Amino acid sequence: MAYVADTIFALATAPGKAGVAVVRVSGSRVAEVGRALFGDLPKPRYAALKLLKDREGRRLDQALALYFPQNNSFTGEEVLELHLHGSTAVVNAVLRVLSEMQGLRLAEAGEFTRRALENGCLDLAQVEGLADLIDAETEAQRRQALRVLSGDLGNLAGKWRTDLIRAAALIEATIDFADEDVPVDVTPEVTNLLTEVRAELDREIVGVESAERIRSGFEVAILGAPNVGKSTLLNALAGREAAITSEYAGTTRDVIEVRMELNGLPVTLLDTAGLRETDDHVEGIGIQRARERAEAADLRVFLFADGEVPDFVPMKNDVIRAAKADTLDDPKDAISGKTGLGVSELVSEITDKLSQQAGRSGTATRERHRIAMIRASESLDAARAILALGPDSYDIGAEELRTAIRALDSIVGHVDVENLLDEIFSSFCIGK
C-alpha cells in the first residue's frame, strides 16, 4: 500500500446551492480533523449527527459525519465525509476552516481517484470506467461504464494473463529440462491456451469501435439535394427549430448538429448542406464538409425527390426515403418533416440499426485498450509460429508470451501507463 503524506480535502458534490453538499477528507490526519471540528470520530461506516465548530468555537453547521477507516474506503486511506447543508456560505466556511489546518490542502483534480489507483483500490480500466460513468448521459453509456467500473475488463485481462503465464511456465519448464526426458508433451496444452486467448482477444478488438461509439455518441447524417427537406426533417426529429428552413436552395451552408437519445443510445443528427454542383465558394465549402462528415458518420439518411438520382452512393446499412411525402400521391417509403408522416418509422429504423451496432460492443471501451490487445495478439501469433519450429526455439517463444503479458498488464495500469495518468485524471473534477 502506497501512502501520501498530505491529507487532502475538497467539495465532492457540484458547487452551488443544493439540499446537501458533501465535503470529503482523505489522509492520515482525518482523526485530527474530526477532533478539531466536532470531537471523536463516529463509528466506522455509521452516520452521526455532529455540530461543527471552528477554532474559536463558533458554529459552522450541523452535519452528518461518516468515517471510513484505512483499507476500507474509496481511496484506501482514512476518509471523512461531511454531509453539510448545501448553502454556498456553509460550504465556504467549512472549506476555509479546513484550509487553515496544518497538513491539509485542497485536492487536485481527480486526486481522490488517483490515490485509489495508487493504493490498489481501483485498476486503471476501472478509473476510466468511473470517468465514463460521471460523464454518462444515456442509459447505454451508464450500463457500459458500470461494467468497466465493476472490474469486468480487469477480470478479463486477468484471465488472459493467467492463461498466458501458464503457457509460458510450461514452455520454460521444457527449456529447463531440455537435457532430460520430459514425461509430457506440453505443446498441445500451450497451443490450446494460446488459441483460446487469441480468439477472445479478436472478439474484444472488434467490439471496441462500437463501445467507443456508445461513449462518444453515434452520428447520423441527413443527406440530399438542396431544398429537399433535410432541415425540416431535422427539426421534426429534434422536436424544435434547430435549423433554419426556407424555400431557397442552399440555405444550409454548414453542418448543423443536434444531440439526442434514441433507445438509450447517444445520437448526434447532422443536417448537411445540399449536395449539388455550385459556383458559390462558401456553399462549396459547406458541401465538401457535408461529404466528409457523411463519410465518417455511422449511418446516413438519404432524402431524394421524385425521379432524382442521389449524388452520393449509399452504403449497405444506410436509409433511403422519398422526400416531401405530403406532396406525393403514393407516400410509400416516403417521409415528410412538415407533417410528420413517416417520421416515427424512420426513428424506429435508425434506432434498430444503431442498436445492432451497439450490440457488437465488448468489454473494452477505448482505443488504448484496442491497441494493447492488438499488441498482445501479434505477440501470440509470433509465439505460435516460433513454437512450431520446435524446442530449440522455445526460449524465443517464451519471450513473445512475456511481451503479450506486458501488453495486457498495460490495460489495467500495471506497466507502460505513467504518461497517461495526468491526462486521464485531468478530466476528473476536484473532489473525485
Measured CA angle at 337 (ends 332, 343), to 5 deg: 60
Determine contact, residues 34/65, Cβ cutoff 8 Å: yes
Count of all residues that appear for the chain in the document = 432
* Mean pLDDT in residue range 215-233: 83
* Mean pLDDT in residue range 314-338: 81
Q: Which pLDDT value is given to residue 37? A: 96
Q: Summarize pLDDT for 340-364 with one digit per residue, the tens.
A: 888 888 889 989 999 988 888 889 9
For residues 309-347, one letter each, b for 16 or more C-beta atoms within 10 angstroms of the residue's C-beta and e for the rest, the string is eebbeeeeebbebbbbbbeeeebeebbbbbeebbbeebb
Grid cell 434514441 — which residue?
Answer: 262
Position 248 confidence tier, pLDDT thresholds 50, 70, 90: very low
Position 181 confidence tier, pLDDT thresholds 50, 70, 90: low
Backbone angles phi, psi at 281, to 5 degrees: -60, -45
Between 219 and 250, the higher pLDDT residue:
219
What percentage of the chain has pLDDT greater than the value 70?
Answer: 83
What percentage of the chain has pLDDT greater than the value 90?
Answer: 45
The predicted model scores a pTM of: 0.77
H helix or E strand, kind and range, residue 301: strand 299-304
C-alpha cell at 377: 495478439
Q: Summarize pLDDT for 64-91 with one digit per residue, the tens.
A: 999 999 999 999 999 999 999 999 999 9
Q: Which pLDDT value is given to residue 247? A: 42
Q: Summarize pLDDT for 398-430 with one digit per residue, the tens.
A: 899 999 999 999 998 875 555 555 655 666 677
- Cα 43 versus chain centre, distance: 36
DSSP 331-382: -TTB--TTT-TTHHHHHHHHHHHHHHHHTT--S--SHHHHHHHHHHHHHHHH
- By mean pLDDT, which of 45-59, 110-124, 247-261, 365-379 is the weakest? 247-261
Q: Which pLDDT value is given to residue 233? A: 83
Average pLDDT, the chain: 84
Query: What SS3 class is residue 414?
Result: coil
Determine contact, residues 376/404, Cβ cutoff 8 Å: yes
